[in-house]
Structure 1
């Protein structure tokens, strides 16, 4: 039912291979009696095709709603691809940023979904895979500088929520919360997710401090800039060989699978994997060149 004067507009967006039912349930639990919940059902089949029509549909609804309620605060939650859709919408409408009180991304592969890259390694446009494999960190980090942003990720199998690697959900300038034991699908409506969002809303929603990154963060950020790299699960870390070790004890390790796909890992001095990613055949040379540069640059910086 229409609300004459809502306290805020809550946009809730479902993701790939889904409808609006579960995310709407989550939104309704977060809403007050005077909250206007806007949770578009984009259609199960449509989520398998292309992301651009989905972005356009959400954008159209948001434009109409924001014009109808020009002074109302906005809060946004998006699950999986729903979070990616809203990153794209916000990127097109920076004039809305001052109205957005918070952006919550739940299990969203901001750095690109590794399963999508495996299905469409050359970005030829195999269904939705090309769109889900895209790295949107630059967009997300710019938005998070202006809008208080929360990342919620699940750890179902010691590295991912069973679908999205934890590392692919992360980007700078945002608050990060990891929920152990939660799978990708259940995070659409789990009570723990509700509590985390409520706590975030109840807290002082200040922008995250942009502090100087530690060495491991610098290494990971440098690797994530490699053309064609995709964050992935670290389940194959035990197969990797040490490429080089820095004075601090941090190691860069590499491994090539049976298909000739190059993987790279960052491990701490205790031997725990902190990051893993892979590149396709077309970008292998980019990775090897970057590793040589990292070894030279970071060794010189330390010495």
Structure 2
């Protein structure tokens, strides 16, 4: 007999990353939500070097299948770096999912466009995934944050970036924003300070719901 989860937690890794125990899935399990089904789609790191659309399609298939199996279960989303960009695109395409989303957590996601990607592909000629990551999706993310409780976690390791993503590009108007100090871009997936911020964010959502 299959046990019905109380929550589905989608955890999405970023570029050249894996969903295994040392990455975003590790954070998802460490958060230790009770009665939670953790779904961490694996995109395979080589594919993340090319175009975003096939990755969106892959995750969309996993999410759609999961939601159809558990039609009444609320979902939470944690995504890091490129995975955050991917989820912003997915939510923009599927507003019918929004009522089921308890919260969206983005870790070091270049929603305003990656400055590194713009250097690689300054004219938008389509050089690998740089073309897709250089796009500014702030307006899309702002619409989502107006409807879905959203937490953005960035880090400043000096000069306003975490070594990969600028603090400025991670900011979303209307979302709760936390800027950590000295946490590298890869460590945003596993750092204890990130866990504390996510727990605090979820607790605040619960307090808001309970007070209504």
User: Any idea what SS the aligned residue of 1:203 has?
Assistant: helix
| Structure 2: runs of 5+ lacking an equivalent | none
1:18-37 alignment runs, 5 A limit:
18-21=17-20, 22-37=23-38
User: Are positions 1:16 and 2:22 aligned together?
Assistant: no
Residue of structure 2 equivalent to 1:50: 51
Is the contact made by 1:3 and 1:34 (CA closer than 8 Å) also made in structure 2?
no
Tell me how far apart the structure 1 counterparts of residues 73 and 35 of structure 2 sit (CA, whole Å). 12
Q: C-alpha root-mean-square deviation of aligned residues, in Å?
A: 1.4
Tell me how far apart the structure 2 counterparts of residues 33 and 144 of structure 1 sit (CA, whole Å). 25
User: Any idea what SS the aligned residue of 1:140 has?
Assistant: helix
TM-score, scaled relative to structure 2? 0.94
Tell me how far apart the structure 2 counterparts of residues 170 and 195 of structure 1 sit (CA, whole Å). 19
Tell me how far apart the structure 2 counterparts of residues 61 and 47 of structure 1 sit (CA, whole Å). 17
Tell me how far apart the structure 2 counterparts of residues 104 and 3 of structure 1 sit (CA, whole Å). 28
1:69-80 alignment runs, 5 A limit:
69-80=70-81
- Compute the displacement of 1:33 (Å): 4.1
Residue of structure 1 equivalent to 2:168: 167
- Compute the displacement of 1:177 (Å): 0.3
Deviations 1:85-129 (A, max 9, x none): 111111111011011010000000000000000000000000110
Residue of structure 1 equivalent to 2:101: 100
User: Any idea what SS the aligned residue of 2:160 has?
Assistant: coil
User: Are positions 1:62 and 2:63 aligned together?
Assistant: yes
- Compute the displacement of 1:204 (Å): 3.1
Is the contact made by 1:8 and 1:74 (CA closer than 8 Å) also made in structure 2?
yes
Deviations 1:8-56 (A, max 9, x none): 0000000011111210000001132410000011001000010000000
Tell me how far apart the structure 2 counterparts of residues 88 and 111 of structure 1 sit (CA, whole Å). 13
Tell me how far apart the structure 1 counterparts of residues 205 and 81 of structure 2 sit (CA, whole Å). 26
Is the contact made by 1:109 and 1:168 (CA closer than 8 Å) also made in structure 2?
yes
Is the contact made by 1:10 and 1:31 (CA closer than 8 Å) also made in structure 2?
no
Runs of 4+ deviating beyond 6 Å: none
User: Any idea what SS the aligned residue of 2:205 has?
Assistant: coil
Q: How many residues align?
A: 206
1:237-248 alignment runs, 5 A limit:
none
Tell me how far apart the structure 2 counterparts of residues 144 and 106 of structure 1 sit (CA, whole Å). 15
| Structure with the larger RCO, 1 or 2 (CA within 8 Å, 6+ apart) | 2
Larger Rg: 1
User: Are positions 1:5 and 2:32 aligned together?
Assistant: no
User: Are positions 1:130 and 2:138 aligned together?
Assistant: no
User: Any idea what SS the aligned residue of 1:146 has?
Assistant: coil
User: Any idea what SS the aligned residue of 1:47 has?
Assistant: helix
Structure 1 residues 185 and 84, CA gap change in structure 2 (3 angstroms): same
Tell me how far apart the structure 2 counterparts of residues 31 and 105 of structure 1 sit (CA, whole Å). 18
User: Are positions 1:109 and 2:118 aligned together?
Assistant: no
Tell me how far apart the structure 1 counterparts of residues 121 and 182 of structure 2 sit (CA, whole Å). 29
TM-score, scaled relative to structure 1? 0.66
